[in-house]
Amino acid sequence: MRDESGLLTGWGPDHYGFMHLGFQEYLAACELRRLAFEGDKDAVLKDLASHYGESWWQEVILMLLAQGNPSLFTPFMRQTLLQPRFEVANELLGLILEEAAEVSVTPFVELLQQLPGEDPDHWARQLKALHVLERLRADAELNALVNSLCQHPLGEVQVLAQARAQAAIRPTRITQQGGVELVLIPGDPFHMGSPASDAEGDKYERPARDVQVPAFYLGRHPVTNEEYGQFLKANPDGEEPGYWGKRQFNQARQPVVGISWHAAQRFAEWAGGRLPTEAEWEYAARAGTTTRYWWGDKVGKNNANCAGCGSQWDGKQSSPVGSFQPNAFGLHDMLGNVWEWVQDCWHESYEGAPTDGSAWGEHQGGNCDRRVRRGGPWNNLPWYVRSASRTRSPPDYRFDYLGFRLAQDI
């Protein structure tokens, strides 16, 4: 077999190993599946779950859960939720939710139904379970739990539960094509830009001025890979994202990245919407606040908007949409995760900018060879994530930190 197939390699006169680790990982997963169904399932899966988060076992776990009929997802996750590394091994959890043959909300609901007790580690696991249910869009299950979670001892759980309770009474709509969820943003005046008194402000963000924004609809999240994939299915000649084949950027509920401004425009037209104007975007990001970030003036462990979601401006990768806490308008990921294209042409300052919430176009002295992007990405410092922060790129620019959000007129 060594000489004729290349499957094995010689480690010694009578000692052989697999040429490729993938064969070993696959056969290990098959043997664990056999042991689970022929022996003590809970004991086998508990032993495997004890290796959760260890890189050596990652592919074995993924291959085990990729096999269905029947699936081992629920019993394995029940054991995994008890492990101390569950709340920190974010990348592995994302891959499991993407690659498992079957995914069930049951183990996560069961964890949230348990009384919180006094163990902060248990609270952290419940927070992660809450994020998973948000990611799986388990609205019925979450709505049934929301009242009890509003009294949870962990503040981050309370915030998410209260935001969901408020979101339930805010008007929303779903686009017929793409299935993008849009939230009604009420019209109101606001102060746009950085005031001269803010030492962290930038010359591009001034002079600050009052802008009247009419009511409009805006995506609850940035457009996801799943939603953009529907566009490509309906439009085979559409622009494929630049990072479509990279595992760290192509999960269904991650924001689509590697998208040019032109491709974002085409998706928006197909979905029956448009890109937001720069004024609409900042108004929605601030959600009635005047601080640097919608949660305050500082980014820290307890108010970083993304604490515990695996994308704390740490230079690793984007997070699934909804990993960030929502602002008062019920919008996720407005600050952080990915930069977002907006409609406007670039201007070096706000001198002469519109005050009615409309886009600032080329006929108004702008440079449409550069288009504005807002929001700040996963790989930048918090300074770029301020509500007023703005920058620009050529409209054909594509990178792994740049996506977009859909807007729609009333």
Total domains in the chain come to 2
- Give the pLDDT band of residue 140 (cuts 50, 70, 90): very high
* Residue pLDDT, tens place only, 369-383: 999 999 998 888 888
Confidence bin at 365 (pLDDT 50/70/90)? confident
Q: Are residues 151 and 248 in the same domain?
A: no
Residues 272 and 186 in one domain: yes
> What pLDDT does residue 300 have?
66
Q: Are residues 134 and 253 in the same domain?
A: no
Same domain, 300 and 360: yes
The per-residue pLDDT for 309 is 58
Long-range contacts from 162-168, C-beta under 8 angstroms, 24+ separation: 163/325, 163/326, 163/330, 166/328, 166/330, 167/326, 167/330, 168/143
User: In this predicted model, what pLDDT tens digit does every residue of 72-113 receive, in sequence order?
Assistant: 999 999 999 999 888 778 788 989 999 999 999 999 999 999
122 and 96 in contact (C-beta within 8 Å)? no
Chain centroid to CA 205 = 27
Same domain, 197 and 106: no
Whether residues 228 and 122 fall in one domain: no
Q: Which of 114, 141, 167 is the last residue of a domain?
A: 167
- Is residue 199 located within the same domain as residue 89? no
Q: Please identify, among 167, 186, 203, the residue that sits at the C-terminal boundary of a domain.
A: 167
- Say if residue 104 is in the same domain as residue 195: no
pLDDT of residue 315: 67
Residues 208, 233: one domain? yes
Range of the domain at 93: 2-167
In contact, 343 and 278? CB cutoff 8 Å? yes
Q: What is the mean pLDDT of residues 143-161?
A: 92
Q: Are residue 98 and residue 146 in the same domain, yes or no?
A: yes
**Rounded Cα distance, 248 and 50, in Å:** 24
CA distance 274 to 240: 19
Q: Is the model's pLDDT at 304 over the cut of 80?
A: no
Q: Which of 125, 144, 167 is the last residue of a domain?
A: 167
CATH number (domain holding residue 270): 3.90.1580.10
Helix (H) or strand (E) holding 9: strand 8-12
Within this chain, do residues 61 and 125 fall inside the same structural domain, yes or no? yes
Do 93 and 151 belong to one domain? yes
